[in-house]
Amino acid sequence: MELKCKQCGKTIANIASFKLLTLKNHRITCICGTEYIVNKEKNGEIKIEEIEFLIDTFFN
């Protein structure tokens, strides 16, 4: 199973490699600049969240 970027569709990482690690807030960045946080839950489930930044508030 692979982690694909939601923005550009490229493969970022292989999920199977994450199952071997003990992850807590591991950051992955795609070539297009989209960032993800990968966490491994206590039950072994891999949880992936996209980091969203509110850049507009700095320029308004």
Q: What is the pLDDT of residues 1-57, one digit of tens each?
A: 788 888 899 988 777 676 666 667 888 888 888 888 888 888 878 788 888 765 555
Task: With cut-offs at 50, 70 and 90, classify the pLDDT of residue 59.
Answer: low
For 37, how many CA atoms within 13 A lie in the half-sphere containing its CB?
7
Q: What is the pLDDT of residue 23?
A: 63
Q: What is the pLDDT of residue 34?
A: 87
Structural tokens at position 20: 């071997």
Intra-chain end-to-end CA distance of the chain, in Å: 41
Structural tokens at position 44: 């072994």
Q: What is the pTM of this model?
A: 0.66
CA dihedral 16, 3, 34, 49 (to 10 degrees): -80
